[in-house]
Amino acid sequence: MAIYHLSVKIVSRNQGRSSVGAAAYRAGEKLYNEYDGVTHDYTNKSGILHSEILLPQNAPPEFSDRETLWNAAEQAEKRKDSQTAREIEIALPRELSLDKQIQLVRDYVNDNFTSKGMCADVAIHSGHRHRQDEQCIESKSDNNITPNNPHAHILLTTRPVDKDGFSVKKNRDWNKKENLYLWREQWAKAQNREFERRGINARVSHESHAKRGLEQEPTIHLGHKAAALEKRGIRTERGNKNREIKERNRQQEQEKIREQEKIREQEHARSK
């Protein structure tokens, strides 16, 4: 079942984080941060299916190296509380193979971010639940997706780039709230186009249930015994009832999305 998730976070020094550390954790690599002299080694991290750097056309070619890119981003920031990167986290449709997920993310990133002058560092994770390491600040920010759902982390630079490196001034327009709405909408559209193109009977929406006029049927309380059995993979009567409720909610949501798409198509045809 296709799910929709997109969240935006900021990597900031006043959180005790760095863009180098975030990039190392997402990609499962060992990177040295020249700004504070810290080496971030996550080469033992599992669940990483793919990673790559996507750059604007006018970016320095050496920025295709992950350590070079994020050290340059760190060096461009002088304040102790600087925001060094923006992270977009998206759930990936399980209806698509890994190769198709990669291409979908690549197209979305190029259309919405690198084309606007941002450098992007993409990492796709399998979605299994990681054991949290209380000593690792990055592991605490990597558990927003439901377990067993593949997802992508997109680290974005906060300054425009040209052939000489990062601009002295940040592009404050990238912080505007309307961009968040646009990025959310465009991710839903990108998935739905791919579903339609491949004949997949699934649709997602970036809008809330309330905005779409959906009343979700509530699930029932499992109780600690049933919850423990379900956690071990043993199906229970209460668990089966919740699965039936979730399936009815899913079908209602899919039908509502199709109705809204039909209305938009009719309005578009009338406007011609």
pLDDT band at 18 (very low <50, low <70, confident <90, very high): very high
**Residue 74 located in a structural domain:** yes
**Residue 55 located in a structural domain:** yes
**Residue 27 located in a structural domain:** yes
Examine the domain organization and report whether 190 and 229 are in the same domain.
Answer: no
DSSP-derived letter for residue 194 is H
**Which structure tokens are listed for 250?**
């899913």
Percentages helix, strand, coil for the chain, rounded to the nearest 5? 40, 15, 40
Examine the domain organization and report whether 241 and 144 are in the same domain.
Answer: no
Residue 39, classed as helix, strand or coil, is: strand
Examine the domain organization and report whether 191 and 233 are in the same domain.
Answer: no
Examine the domain organization and report whether 162 and 228 are in the same domain.
Answer: no
The Cα–Cα gap between 212 and 189 comes to 16
Residue type, 222: L
Contact 19, 36 (CB under 8 A): no
**Residue 184 located in a structural domain:** yes
The Cα–Cα gap between 141 and 90 comes to 14
**Residue 213 located in a structural domain:** no
Examine the domain organization and report whether 31 and 127 are in the same domain.
Answer: yes
**Residue 14 located in a structural domain:** yes
- pLDDT of 211-261, one tens digit each? 545 566 677 767 777 778 877 788 888 888 878 877 777 777 667 667 766
Put simply, whether the predicted model's pTM sits higher than 0.95 gets the answer: no
Check whether 105 has a pLDDT greater than 80: yes
Examine the domain organization and report whether 64 and 152 are in the same domain.
Answer: yes
Instruction: Give the range with max mean pLDDT: 2-6, 47-51, 79-83, 135-139.
Output: 47-51
Examine the domain organization and report whether 10 and 112 are in the same domain.
Answer: yes
The Cα–Cα gap between 112 and 59 comes to 16
CATH number of the domain bearing residue 42: 3.30.930.30
- pLDDT of 56-74, one tens digit each? 999 999 999 999 999 999 9
Question: 258: which residues sit within 8 A by CB, 6+ positions away?
Answer: 203
Kindly write down the DSSP assignment for every residue of 150-192, as one continuous string. -EEEEEE-SS-EETTEE-SS--GGGG-HHHHHHHHHHHHHHHH
Examine the domain organization and report whether 231 and 176 are in the same domain.
Answer: no
pLDDT at site 67: 98
The per-type count for the chain, helices as H runs and strands as E runs, is 6, 9
**Residue 147 located in a structural domain:** yes
pLDDT at site 141: 60
Examine the domain organization and report whether 191 and 228 are in the same domain.
Answer: no
Examine the domain organization and report whether 86 and 129 are in the same domain.
Answer: yes
The Cα–Cα gap between 48 and 124 comes to 6
Where do the DSSP E strands lie in the chain? 6-12, 30-33, 38-41, 48-54, 83-91, 120-125, 151-156, 161-162, 165-166
Q: Point out the domain boundary residue: 197, 213, 239.
A: 197
Residue 230, classed as helix, strand or coil, is: helix
Examine the domain organization and report whether 24 and 77 are in the same domain.
Answer: yes
Q: Find the domain containing 136 and state its range.
A: 6-197
**Residue 216 located in a structural domain:** no
pLDDT at site 269: 73
Number of domains in the chain: 2
Examine the domain organization and report whether 160 and 73 are in the same domain.
Answer: yes
